[in-house]
Amino acid sequence: MPISISIVEDNDQLRATLAKVIGRADGFRFATDYASAEDALADLPKVKPDVVLMDINLPGINGVECVRKLKALLPQTQVMMLTVYEDTENIFNALAAGANGYMLKRTPTKELVEAIREMQRGGSPMTTHIARLVVQSFQKAAAPAPAPGDDLSVLSEREQQVLDLLAQGLIYKEIAEKLNIGYETVHTYIRRIYEKLQVRTRTEAVAKFLQR
């Protein structure tokens, strides 16, 4: 089944461009688009798309608050922030609200399409720059007391290599190319890393990696 995608973006030209990109991408289906959070929240529960691309700077209810409300209505729908903002406050507010990925509008089309696929497979895609900001934020924070799952010795050498590359901000496809392994193999390694470290997201796994 194709991945159904809805768009929440107040820029008419960009919204139309994204719709065309999605409509032409293999395995994707453009579902609906909205110029405001209010319209999206009223209609999306009926549409039930697999993925929503969400802007932050929307008229009325902003994108972060829209994500929070939308996740309460459609917990299984994956939400990717697609925005011009790359400051830590907006990043963490969006992730805390329930966003599953965070990409910039200047991201090349091919990379954006790959990021949507990665998110549908359980990943939390971010541009390399955004991932670096997340890493730097954790580095500045005080390390918490050790807890079960903090010991990286439970990971195999290959799993630690994968986690190291995750911490550098690489997406799954780039990790596969770097280690000369298959994309699905990377996905398997990351699932095992999450299980062994007792985490559920890329951000949590990277945080434990930085505390080592």
pLDDT digits (tens, 9 = 90+) for 24-42: 999 999 999 999 999 999 9
Q: How would DSSP label each residue in 132-150?
A: HHHHHHHHHSPPPPP-TT-
Instruction: Round to whole Å and give the CA distance between 188 and 180.
Output: 15
* pLDDT computed for residue 77 by the predictor: 95
Q: With bands split at pLDDT 50, 70 and 90, how would you rate the model's confidence at 126?
A: confident
Residue 6 near residue 31 (C-beta atoms within 8 A): yes
For residue range 129-143, what is the model confidence (pLDDT) as tens digits? 777 777 666 666 544
Provide the 10 A C-beta neighbour count for residue 178: 14
Is the model more confident about 160 or about 44? 44
Q: With bands split at pLDDT 50, 70 and 90, how would you rate the model's confidence at 23?
A: very high
Domains and CATH numbers, the chain: 3-126 (3.40.50.2300), 142-210 (1.10.10.10)
Which runs of consecutive H residues, i.e. helices, occur in 33-182? 37-47, 63-73, 88-97, 109-120, 128-140, 157-167, 172-179
* pLDDT computed for residue 42 by the predictor: 97
Residue 190 near residue 118 (C-beta atoms within 8 A): no
Rounded average pLDDT over 82-100: 86
* pLDDT computed for residue 143 by the predictor: 47
Residue 100 near residue 58 (C-beta atoms within 8 A): no
Q: What is the dihedral of CA 124, 130, 136, 138, to 10 degrees?
A: -30
Mean pLDDT rounded to a whole number for the chain? 87
Instruction: Give the H/E segment covering residue 203.
Output: helix 202-210
Q: pTM for this structure?
A: 0.66
* pLDDT computed for residue 121 by the predictor: 86
